[in-house]
Chain A
């Protein structure tokens, strides 16, 4: 295998994991745009959704039926979380909100352990084995499948936001909730909807990554850090940025792990840390975000 094909091979694999990060980052960005909150529990909610999918498949449901059911459950769950956990602290100081989402993180993580135990579970690989051989670069069906599913999710979100009236209402609320209320929009309901959507998008990342990482309650901890890096890089206000950032972080991670001997596989988790720090110090609003993300 030549050096070039080897490099391309790494890039392809990076894009595969990057798509997963992009999906979770997108969930983070959705919630940040709607409520100005960074949801530290986003990864754990995704993990919980993945367990739902696992449970459905384990009880005999075919995967491609279990997936939409899981997404629907996640949507309802996300709405519930907004209503019960987040609404009471909406508008409270940032520290309060951060701590509430951290509390949710701990709670959901332990809840999954309580229900499904902390032993690792084998999650079914929904895509067939094998793959394509493109000029020496091997592209697994699973990699293609992950990228494809994430692309579909992005497409659906784009259509929803840009071409439906509910999408328009949601964008209006994200932009200026006070004026939205004055126009008669039930902002609370729209925020619930936003959390539901975010939970659904996050669930996609969990289900996609589970066959690779194996399912256990702490599965998403690492993924969350990569998603943070992706959202920070793209700009916490930009869905497009989340996707680009996710792919970039995925590729950067794979390449660093493969080519920088000092880093290796074990210290790869330092890559998002470096990216987050670098972005925040050099261009805090991220690549696609607007300036002045932080409040005065």
Chain B
């Protein structure tokens, strides 16, 4: 697809190696236990990819981090325990989750979607938070990242294309000024070119904002291109962890664990 990306070594992000620390994470739905004890850390400012086949527990991992499902074990963000909190509380701790299937507010305009994203920062008018100006600036910043959204700022989100909706969902999450951005299958249902563009923007956001990102992807190739580190999940357990570059280059690993042939894809 593209040239091997610049080295996204851990060095550039290792100031706080345990910014997000997941230990012994178990989670599931009712009787079904999906996660069987995960341990991993994400450094501040790092992009971490979670890969694996369908049903491995990737989405559940993100949901546990943002409080959408209950988990056991421990997940700390900058030292604060995340488990046992509701999504509303997690958002207040700086966790922005872009769920699978985008999760835009389709009846609202693009700009209203973004304003909802900044809801926590502005709050009700009578409290008069000082961040109004900052939010307005952020809105411009998001429009700079996603020029298409600026063009469509007064359109209903439901009328956007799939790629634009995904951009909007990410933009909305960024309006929170998150310290941790969770992306669930951003490439789902999108054309390859659009996906490419999207991932480049995520990379740019990460580089410019120093936002820590955890991205869940089926498309391992894409995710590995922008990630610093990657973890491969299988049946609720981590089977492989390492620097993204290493995993990307070790084609055999990719074939065994991801069921994709990275090399042949690259060739093709």
A residues apposed to B, CB below 8 Å = 164-166, 168-169, 171-172, 174-176, 178-187
24 contacts between A and B (CB under 8 A): A164-B125, A165-B122, A165-B125, A171-B108, A172-B108, A174-B107, A175-B106, A175-B107, A175-B108, A176-B103, A178-B99, A179-B105, A180-B105, A180-B116, A181-B87, A181-B88, A182-B90, A182-B96, A183-B119, A184-B88, A184-B120, A184-B176, A185-B88, A187-B88
Residues in chain A near residue B119, CB distance under 8 A: 165, 169, 172, 183-185
* Chain B residue with the shortest CB-CB distance to A237: B107
Nearest chain A CB to B158 CB, angstrom units? 9
Residues in chain A near residue B88, CB distance under 8 A: 181, 184-187
Interface digits, B156-189 against A, CB 8 Å rule (1 contact, 0 not)? Answer: 0000000000000000100010000000000000
B residues apposed to A, CB below 8 Å = 66, 68, 86-88, 90-92, 96-97, 99, 103-108, 112, 115-117, 119-120, 122, 124-125, 172, 176
B116 contacts which of A164, A172, A178 (Cβ < 8 Å)? A172
B66 contacts which of A172, A180, A182, A185 (Cβ < 8 Å)? A182
Q: A165-B122, A166-B124, A169-B116 are in contact. Are A182 and B105 (CB under 8 A)?
A: no
Residues in chain B near residue A165, CB distance under 8 A: 115, 119, 122, 124-125
Q: Tell me if A183 and B176 are in contact (CB < 8 A).
A: yes
Residues in chain A near residue B124, CB distance under 8 A: 165-166
Residues in chain B near residue A169, CB distance under 8 A: 116, 119
Residues in chain B near residue A172, CB distance under 8 A: 105, 108, 112, 116, 119
Apart from A165-B119, A172-B108: 12 A-B pairs, beta carbons within 8 A: A165-B122, A165-B125, A168-B108, A168-B116, A171-B105, A172-B105, A172-B112, A176-B104, A179-B99, A184-B119, A184-B120, A187-B88
Top 6 closest A-B pairs, CB basis? A184-B91, A179-B103, A181-B87, A184-B120, A175-B105, A175-B107
Nearest chain B CB to A183 CB, angstrom units? 5
Residues in chain B near residue A180, CB distance under 8 A: 105, 116
Q: Tell me if A182 and B87 are in contact (CB < 8 A).
A: yes
Q: Tell me if B120 and A168 are in contact (CB < 8 A).
A: no
Residues in chain B near residue A186, CB distance under 8 A: 88
Residues in chain B near residue A184, CB distance under 8 A: 88, 91-92, 119-120, 176
Residues in chain B near residue A185, CB distance under 8 A: 88, 116, 119
Q: Compute how far the CA of A181 lies from the CA of B124 in the bound complex, rounded to whole angstroms.
A: 16
Q: Compute how far the CA of A180 lies from the CA of B112 in the bound complex, rounded to whole angstroms.
A: 12
User: A165, A169, A183, A185 — which one has the most chain B CB atoms within 10 A of its CB?
Assistant: A183
Q: Tell me if B117 and A183 are in contact (CB < 8 A).
A: yes
Q: Tell me if B115 and A183 are in contact (CB < 8 A).
A: no
Residues in chain B near residue A171, CB distance under 8 A: 105, 107-108, 112
* Chain A residue with the shortest CB-CB distance to B115: A168
Q: Compute how far the CA of A204 lies from the CA of B68 in the bound complex, rounded to whole angstroms.
A: 39
Q: Tell me if B108 and A182 are in contact (CB < 8 A).
A: no
Residues in chain B near residue A178, CB distance under 8 A: 68, 87, 99, 103
Nearest chain B CB to A244 CB, angstrom units? 19
Residues in chain B near residue A176, CB distance under 8 A: 103-106
Q: Tell me if A183 and B91 are in contact (CB < 8 A).
A: yes
Nearest chain B CB to A192 CB, angstrom units? 14
Residues in chain A near residue B106, CB distance under 8 A: 175-176
B86 contacts which of A166, A175, A181, A183 (Cβ < 8 Å)? A181
Q: Compute how far the CA of A186 lies from the CA of B172 in the bound complex, rounded to whole angstroms.
A: 17
* Chain A residue with the shortest CB-CB distance to B169: A179
Nearest chain A CB to B171 CB, angstrom units? 12
* Chain B residue with the shortest CB-CB distance to A186: B88
User: A165, A172, A184 — which one has the most chain B CB atoms within 10 A of its CB?
Assistant: A184
User: A171, A174, A182, A187 — which one has the most chain B CB atoms within 10 A of its CB?
Assistant: A182
Q: Compute how far the CA of A171 lies from the CA of B90 in the bound complex, rounded to whole angstroms.
A: 22
User: B87, B96, B104 — which one has the most chain A CB atoms within 10 A of its CB?
Assistant: B87
Residues in chain A near residue B107, CB distance under 8 A: 171, 174-175
Q: Compute how far the CA of A164 lies from the CA of B91 in the bound complex, rounded to whole angstroms.
A: 22
Q: Compute how far the CA of A179 lies from the CA of B97 in the bound complex, rounded to whole angstroms.
A: 9
Q: Compute how far the CA of A178 lies from the CA of B116 in the bound complex, rounded to whole angstroms.
A: 13
Q: Compute how far the CA of A176 lies from the CA of B105 in the bound complex, rounded to whole angstroms.
A: 6
Nearest chain A CB to B115 CB, angstrom units? 6
Residues in chain A near residue B122, CB distance under 8 A: 165
Q: Compute how far the CA of A210 lies from the CA of B91 in the bound complex, rounded to whole angstroms.
A: 47
* Chain A residue with the shortest CB-CB distance to B158: A175
Nearest chain B CB to A85 CB, angstrom units? 22
Residues in chain B near residue A168, CB distance under 8 A: 108, 112, 115-116
Nearest chain A CB to B221 CB, angstrom units? 28
Q: Tell me if B108 and A183 are in contact (CB < 8 A).
A: no
Residues in chain B near residue A166, CB distance under 8 A: 124
Residues in chain A near residue B92, CB distance under 8 A: 184
* Chain A residue with the shortest CB-CB distance to B107: A175
* Chain A residue with the shortest CB-CB distance to B106: A175
Q: Compute how far the CA of A183 lies from the CA of B173 in the bound complex, rounded to whole angstroms.
A: 7
Q: Compute how far the CA of A230 lies from the CA of B223 in the bound complex, rounded to whole angstroms.
A: 51
Q: Tell me if A183 and B99 are in contact (CB < 8 A).
A: no
Residues in chain A near residue B103, CB distance under 8 A: 176, 178-179, 182
